Structure 1
């Protein structure tokens, strides 16, 4: 296991049990983001870096019983918390690295990724891996339940022009990784960037 992986597992493993209690008011933001994402009944969607599975229930509601919902996370304690919260009934949970997904090329219609991008060790390569498993014309949502400025303030840091999630950085990063940025919202109460898988 790489040093990056060990660090991520230690960070989130230590916080898994209390994660949902720490952010008790995020559910409406997840629901609104999934609604704006525009999934269709029967779609196959991956929740990449699913954590405690807070997106699984709205994702399941969006794709319906005929759809497929798969939650992937690197940290066993996060997945265990998702199971204890009853979210495994809304999607299959898999411990795996989003940098090397055990999925076929083009097998998905969409990827939803909440809070993931800041934790990618190699963002361009990792976004290319997400593109690999999504069919051409499929979609990706990069989401956070608060905006960049609010998140920076929560973490006690300054926003800089180098921030990967700034629109002027994210657009080219996605474009170089097989995605076209189609909409971008960075507000106090949410961050949501939507992209389409290039043919």
Structure 2
């Protein structure tokens, strides 16, 4: 899970926020594992697929992604913050996927090499959301899938941080649908409940 902040964070802002929180991140949110697994199941990667957890943090989605694609599939976990990747290694999640320090706006991947992308809380921390979403579209094959996930919904998350929802929230469906469309995606399913946020999109041909 990612802390909700206004979009526009620089890479340095993201690192400054997550570095001191990395060591106890999982212990702060100990019950999110089933929600991650359920979201990965709805993303629907198949045996042998190549998948990316974009902004993987401590790698909580990696076990579910590995289970879905099997030993012959490819699981990648990219994050901007070294301390979060180190926490993922301490948790043993490097056994489920290859971890790397990388910016989702400049991915070290060739065009169309992935079948699916999973992203938990990512959009709230992108300096330029459209650039990053276009870059994710570049590396996913036509017809591939994309999940934007958070283990609590928008209203519950805002309340947790003492804020109200605003019409400018990028994750609001009227904002997210056209943003995804401009970046090569088609929004196919949208759920925003207290217990989770999940937007599922498909890479357009």
TM-score by length of 2: 0.95
Structure 2: stretches of 5+ with no match in the other structure: 1-8
The alignment covers a number of residue pairs equal to 197
Alpha-carbon separation, structure 2, partners of 1:37 and 1:4? 28
For 2:48, what is the secondary structure of its paired residue? coil
2:108 is matched with which residue: 78, 102, 105?
A: 102
Residue 150, structure 1, aligned to residue 156, structure 2: yes
1:101-131 residue CA offsets vs partner (Å, 9 max, x unmatched): 0100000001000010110110111100000
Distance 2:137 2:20 in 1: 30
Per the alignment, residue 118 of structure 1 pairs with: 124
SS at match of 1:194: strand
Partner of 2:59: 53
Aligned residue number for residue 95 of structure 2: 89
Q: TM-score, normalised by structure 1?
A: 0.98
Structure 2: distance between partners of 1:54 and 1:47? 9
Per the alignment, residue 44 of structure 1 pairs with 50
Q: Structure 1 stretches (4+) deviating beyond 6 angstroms?
A: none
What runs of 5+ residues in structure 1 fail to find an aligned partner? none
Q: Distance in 2 between matches of 1:38 and 1:126?
A: 22
Could you say which structure has the greater relative contact order, defined with CA pairs below 8 angstroms and 6 or more residues apart?
Answer: 2
Partner of 1:164: 170
The equivalent of 2:3 in structure 1 is: none
**1:80-112 CA distances to partner (integer Å, 9 max, x unpaired)?**
000000000000000010010010000000100
Task: Give 1:26 deviation, angstroms.
Answer: 0.3
- Between the aligned partners of 1:180 and 1:190, the Cα distance in structure 2 is 20
| Residue matched to 2:4 | none
**Which position in structure 1 is the counterpart of 2:6?**
none
Please name the residue that 1:17 is paired with. Answer: 23
Match for 1:32 among 38, 58, 63?
38
CA distance in 2, matches of 1:7, 1:125: 18
Q: Aligned-residue CA RMSD in angstroms? A: 0.7
How many angstroms does 1:195 deviate by? 0.3
